[in-house]
Chains A and B, each alone.
Chain A
Amino acid sequence: MSLQAGWPLRPGAALALAAVFALAAAARPAAAAEPEAGTGPAAGAEADQAPLTVALTGKYPPFSFYDENGELAGFDVDVSRAVAGRLGRRLEIVATEWDGILAGLLSGKYDAIIGSMAITPERARQVDFSEPYYVSGAQLFVRRSDRGDLDGIAACAGRPVGVGLGETYEHYLRREHPEVEAVTYKSTVDIFQDMENDRLSGFITDKLVGAWQVKSAGRDFVPAGKLLFEERIGIPVRKDRPELLAGINAALADMQASGERDRLFEKWFGLARRRPTGMSAATVVRLLLRGFGITIGVAVASLAIGFVLAIPLGMVLNRGRGAGCRAVRAFVDFVRGTPVLIQLLFVYFGAPQVGVTLSPIASAVLTLSVSAAAYMSEIVRSGLMSVDHGQELAARALGLSGRQTFRLVVWPQAFRVAMPPLINAVVALTKDTALISVISVGEVVREAQSIISVTFQPIQYYLIVAGMFFVFTFPLMKLAGRVEARMKERGFVHD
């Protein structure tokens, strides 16, 4: 998301925000505003006209997110309600992806975006923005104990400072402050952990979001220095809706004048607020179990498909010569010699290029099945190889057909020999499912990450996830050991 800026959490913060609103209001005094025909702060009678439809992402706490009851909540949601109320219109919120949010506005899918969109010249060419309803910007945060020394970005020369990967802040830092060592992270949670681990001297993020996250995580980080740059957040509407724009501006000015903005600001960013989110134990358990269900589902499906494929592949490999065998050998070597992570990304992003768009789960099952088939075919091959050729001779001598010989004599022996390594492959491939979180499959690792983004307790939850995997794999490993011992007893495997 592009703008994110931070309001200070110091006692003066609310005042500063109020000042911004005052500016906005001054630009267009409430009394002078001419709302859409027949609407206005006092026009309650018009509630039956078309609703005001407003877009936001629902993925940007504390501005918009789904609360514990699955309801949309946040600062932007409250501002939307207040604006709609003042326009005398019913509010309808459309949650949409950030990527297409402007295109949706231009095509008339909704009236306005109240989704923390920064006012930029490029955007202002396509749409009309209201006066800013808040101002944020890039802010350096440091540990409270360091704030004496690190009083601004200049003091961080030669020190590691964390930034989100690919965010504006990273580019800003590299451009404006190359003397600072920029360290990129995928999420704030990781940044917090490395602040804790003393790997970072500070981090840069949106001032408001950062302050909220620091508070949520209960960390002792404070803003240091002034905003590195400022972003003004407005409400865009289509250029052909000047009356709507005027109405929104009037509503914002009225919110300022009535003190409602200050109340909303205090509600979401004020010091008095208790820790804003957090998650109930029941929700955590539900999310983790659902995620683990998907993990096991993907693992079982991939392993089953992989095993079924591995039998004929293993038989072809066991022939040891011929074009088919060389082709299978090349396939197996390639799959085994490349990282599963890359295979996943390749299938997920590559398949649509050739016209096959697979869901994340389908991509995951496809990739992991292929990987399982490659590893298991090798195991099947060595199982088949371990069966004395004489067994086949004896079976044929007894009059068993080729198929019966394989099914009743060769395969049962090969399978028993292959069993312990197969179980180990099952364990390894089950663990590989942790990788599929990268292609947005909501398995247990991803669920844990989303829990962590709210609870800010990475170590605890990663430990729990590790435990869940272990509870599943440990009995399998035990079983492998037991099967192997039994095979030795029966004279299949010799040490």
Chain B
Amino acid sequence: MIEVTGLSHAYGDGTEALRDVNVVFPRGTISAVLGESGSGKTTLLMALGRFLRVPHGRISYDETDLNDVPEAELRRKIGVVFQKLYLFPHLTVLENLALAMVHAQGRPRKEAEAAALDMLERLGIRATAESYPVRLSGGQAQRAAIARGLLLRPDYMLLDEPTSALDANTTDEFAAWLGELRSDTNFIIVTHDVLFARKVAEMGVYLSGGTVAARGPIEEIIRNVRAGRVVGEPAS
């Protein structure tokens, strides 16, 4: 379980991206972080992955304060796929996928590459294995980045807009596949795609202007949003 209490964050230029955010992501569920553009979704995800200094508020993982988790353990436990993907441009797709398995987890290269090819196959981008990232389409790159994160089998997986570049069909396949993986991994998915969120998630939080406008079962949130009962700050 991930527990966020009283979290606020302002960027160096003074932008207040999060204000007093309180939310819980239970184990065994897929949670969605919803909200319009600029509402602070990515910022929240970065805080959960300890990529931001957050002087105000507290985040705990399974009761342990995030700041007390040793770096190596934290990275083993929590995987992140960034909105901007950050595939390594100097490596082929296959090398991108195998890199951390080999160097961070110490798995034999052969085994790592076999697992990577397997994953690429399932995501329908096996043909791109030897390509460099610059040659990939948006959707292919997105799937490659997700594959790279999932191959490490983290306990928690944070995905930032994983379907933004996928077409409807691929999104559906992806959603079905997440369903298969959920027994091993706790997903927290940032998305503005309400249909997708509804398909995969059971819990949700709706951010607006850096604050939590709604949280609870996903259906409930979506209903409230549709009915206009969840309103963001006028500024956002």
On A, residues with C-beta under 8 Å from B are: 388, 390-391, 393-401, 404, 408-409, 412-413, 416, 489-492
Contacts and interface: CB of A to CB of B under 8 A. Distances in A.
Given A409-B88, A490-B89, A492-B90, A398 B132 contact: no
Given A399-B75, A408-B103, A390 B84 contact: yes
B104 A399 contact: yes
A400 B79 contact: no
A399 B152 contact: yes
Given A390-B86, A413-B90, A491 B133 contact: yes
15 contacts: A391-B88, A394-B82, A394-B87, A397-B49, A397-B51, A397-B82, A397-B149, A398-B99, A398-B100, A398-B149, A408-B103, A409-B99, A413-B88, A490-B132, A491-B133
A390 B46 CA distance: 12
Contacts of B75: 396-399
Interface in B85-132: 85-90, 99-100, 103-105, 132
Given A400-B103, A408-B103, 12 more contacts: A388-B86, A390-B84, A391-B88, A393-B51, A395-B88, A396-B51, A396-B75, A397-B82, A399-B104, A400-B104, A416-B90, A492-B90
A390 B103 contact: no
Contacts of B90: 412-413, 416, 490, 492
A493 to B, nearest CB: 10
Nearest to A407: B103
A489 B148 CA distance: 23
A409 B132 CA distance: 14
Contacts of A397: 49, 51, 75, 79-80, 82, 149
Contact of B103 (A391, A404, A416, A489): A404
Contact of A398 (B84, B85, B134, B152): B152
A397 B85 CA distance: 11
Contacts of A409: 88, 99
B72 interface: yes
Contact of B86 (A391, A400, A408, A412): A391
A388 to B, nearest CB: 7
Nearest to A412: B90
A390 B79 CA distance: 15
Contacts of B152: 398-399
B104 A404 contact: yes
A409 B76 CA distance: 19
Interface in B53-94: 72, 75-76, 79-80, 82, 84-90
A490 B135 CA distance: 8
A393 B82 contact: yes
Top 3 A-B residue pairs of the complex, sorted by shortest distance between their CB atoms = A491-B134, A394-B86, A399-B104
Interface residues of B, number: 26
B72 A399 contact: yes
B49, B99, B103, B133 — which one has the most chain A CB atoms within 10 A of its CB?
A: B103
Contacts of A416: 90
Contacts of A412: 90
Nearest to A415: B90
Nearest to B79: A397
Nearest to B46: A393
A393 B158 CA distance: 14
A398 B89 contact: no
A390 B160 CA distance: 14
A416 to B, nearest CB: 6
Nearest to B104: A399
A399 B105 contact: yes
A492 B132 CA distance: 11
A413 B82 contact: no
B153 to A, nearest CB: 11
Contacts of B99: 398, 400, 408-409
A386 to B, nearest CB: 11
B76 A399 contact: yes
Nearest to B87: A394
A394 B88 contact: yes
Contacts of A396: 51, 75
B148 A398 contact: yes
A193 to B, nearest CB: 53
B35 to A, nearest CB: 22
A401 B72 CA distance: 8
A437 B133 CA distance: 49
B149 to A, nearest CB: 7
A400 B100 contact: yes
A390 B88 CA distance: 10
A180 B152 CA distance: 87
Interface string B189-202: 00000000000000
B98 to A, nearest CB: 11
Contacts of B105: 399
Nearest to A416: B90
